[in-house]
Amino acid sequence: MAKVLIATEKPFAPAAVAGIREVIEGAGNELLLLEKYTEKSQILEAVADVDAIIIRSDKIDAEVLDAAKQLKIVVRAGAGYDNVDLAAATAHNVVVENTPGQNANAVAELVLGLLVFAVRNFYNGKAGTELMGKTLGILAFGNVGRNVARIAKGFGMNVIAYDAFCPAEAIEAAGVKAMGSQAELFKEADIVSLHIPATAETKQSINYELCSTMKQGAILINTARKEVIDEAGLLALLAERKDIKYITDIKPDADADFAAFEGRYFSTPKKMGAQTAEANTNAGIAAANQINAYFAEGCTKFQVNK
């Protein structure tokens, strides 16, 4: 019997916890809960004798891994996993997995909701514009990007995409025009939606030089990661280009500076992309099933620290 810990500073919905419990205990394993913890010492104590951990945005670093002497697998309930120290996990012989696709529709729906909000001037009573006929550029065509494309086409938008790791043929097969480069995408789109991970290559890659090539009246929307934005560069551009809007689901470090651009900047109070009852439950149950598969069959299909 494996001991499985749900360690969530921001807890799953009760229905999601109930679903996870049913899956974990149904396979003969034990489920433990650490919710709404406020001190790192609490998670260090909780992991001491567990075999598996399910997390959301919680940080799993070398100190946590040192404390978890029996740990064999960590599953991040969601797509991004930059909150886990992969090198340290590998050094501790711990498998790290994510649950790709489980939150994708929720994030995609938020993208289009925020875009309607933006083109209607944040519902300030003044006439806005419509999304129909606009060109939406999707940067990275993974699970979220594909769902954004699907919904955007329902709005009558023209959709283009660029993904350095996805063949153009696969993008075109989804009914989306493939761009040859990131630079080309930014020049052609009326709206650019970011869906890239935060890696050594992408951090601060969305910068002044790139965004300055955007069309008149362009919108940049970020539901990916804060770290991909060069905040100083984007602030400089917004000061120069009074036609550009920046919409984000991740509050920038320089939020107060961005907020000075009233009517052209909006940030959700906290990251809301995956905050739906459905996504919450789907990701949690997927994590539970993956842990069961690991202990029953040695399955590591979704491992990200190979």
Predicted pLDDT at 225:
94
Contacts (Cβ under 8 Å, ≥6 apart) of 154: none
% of the chain surpassing 90 pLDDT: 95
Categorize the per-residue pLDDT at 306 as very low, low, confident or very high, splitting at 50, 70 and 90. confident
* Average confidence (pLDDT) over 241-246: 98
* pTM for the structure as a whole: 0.87
* Average confidence (pLDDT) over 114-122: 98
Predicted pLDDT at 87:
97
Q: Which segments within 2-157 are labelled E, that is strand?
A: 3-8, 30-35, 52-55, 73-76, 95-98, 135-139
Predicted pLDDT at 80:
85
Categorize the per-residue pLDDT at 258 as very low, low, confident or very high, splitting at 50, 70 and 90. very high
Q: What is the residue-wise DSSP string for 211-229?
A: HTTSPTT-EEEE-S-GGGB
Question: Does the structure show a pLDDT above 90 at 70?
Answer: yes
Predicted pLDDT at 275:
87
Predicted pLDDT at 79:
86
Among the listed residues 279, 289, 286, 280, the one whose alpha carbon sits nearest the alpha carbon of residue 11: 280
Contacts (Cβ under 8 Å, ≥6 apart) of 220: 191, 192, 194, 206, 211, 214, 234, 244, 245, 246, 247
Rounded to an integer, what distance in angstroms lies between the CA atom of residue 274 and that of residue 206?
23
* Average confidence (pLDDT) over 215-241: 97
Question: Does the structure show a pLDDT above 90 at 257?
Answer: yes
Predicted pLDDT at 136:
98
What single DSSP character describes residue 123?
G
Among the listed residues 131, 164, 2, 163, the one whose alpha carbon sits nearest the alpha carbon of residue 73: 2
Instruction: For residue 70, give the amino acid letter.
Output: Q
Rounded to an integer, what distance in angstroms lies between the CA atom of residue 16 and that of residue 23?
11
Task: Estimate to the nearest angstrom the gap between the alpha carbon of 90 and the chain centroid.
Answer: 23
Q: Is 78 helix (H, G, I), strand (E, B) or coil?
A: coil
User: How far apart, in Å, are the Cα atoms of 190 and each of 119, 131, 132, 256, 259?
Assistant: 11, 10, 11, 26, 22
For 149, phi then psi, to 5°, come to -60, -45
CB atoms under 10 Å from CB of 26, counted, come to 10
Question: Does the structure show a pLDDT above 90 at 274?
Answer: no
Rounded to an integer, what distance in angstroms lies between the CA atom of residue 220 and that of residue 231?
13
Predicted pLDDT at 18:
96
Predicted pLDDT at 127:
96
Question: Does the structure show a pLDDT above 90 at 140?
Answer: yes
What single DSSP character describes residue 116?
H
Give yes or no for a contact between 154 and 176, defined as CB atoms under 8 angstroms apart.
Answer: no
CA atoms within 13 A on the CB side of 12: 29
* Average confidence (pLDDT) over 75-100: 95
Among the listed residues 204, 103, 202, the one whose alpha carbon sits nearest the alpha carbon of residue 147: 103
Give yes or no for a contact between 97 and 75, defined as CB atoms under 8 angstroms apart.
Answer: yes
Rounded to an integer, what distance in angstroms lies between the CA atom of residue 99 and that of residue 76?
7
